Amino acid sequence: MPHRLENYGYTVSTGPLVWNRHKTQLKAHHKKGYFPLIWAEAVTADGHFKFRAAKKNHKPYFKPKNGDDWLIVREPCVLLQRTTAKEQRRRLIAAELPVDFIATHGGVVVENHLNMIRPKNGTAKLSASALAVLLNSETVDQAFRCINGSVAVSAFELRALPLPPPKDMKNIENLVMRGASQQTINQKIARIYGGGTS
């Protein structure tokens, strides 16, 4: 399977905010000019986005200073946890960062325990929602375990992850749009990878 995220029109990078270098800019309450701060806990174990900052030292908002524009993410993307253990049911835990959430707040700040999978120059061949479902599938998780040897889910390994041809993902995208169950989608993805049945 020669196709990679690059062939889908996506690039991978680490969330830019190293929070302990910006402690004074983390805020507990929203004010004008502040942006939501997206922690790894915002990507739930079942692959959904939930804006929250409940863990110790986590605060939900970020107050930018002059020169901080590079920290602000203004386009939709897939968020994926950077640290998972091999004992977990899934190593790849991804969620779409909703377009309407970004639009409401004018942007977000993503901390560095998350990977961001973003479309390159408007060339995405698959929607972010369908890509998140693909990455959360059992088959792709198994493929990732074959190339990963640590608790880190690195951008390098995500770039190297073997994926189905983009044309084969159209059926999956249609299933996602129709609200098909994860089980149905998992079966279809397994078939594309050469295992399971339709």
Q: Give the global pTM.
A: 0.89
Q: So what's the pLDDT on residue 195?
A: 60
Q: So what's the pLDDT on residue 198?
A: 42
Domains of the chain: 5-192 (3.90.220.10)
Q: So what's the pLDDT on residue 123?
A: 74
Alpha-carbon distance of 110 to 62, in angstroms, equals 10
Q: So what's the pLDDT on residue 197?
A: 46
- First and final C-alpha spacing in the chain: 19
Alpha-carbon distance of 133 to 95, in angstroms, equals 8
Residue ranges of the chain whose pLDDT lies below 70: 85-86, 195-198
Buried b (16+ CB within 10 A) or exposed e, 38-72: bbbbbbeeebebebebeeeebebbbbbeeebeebb
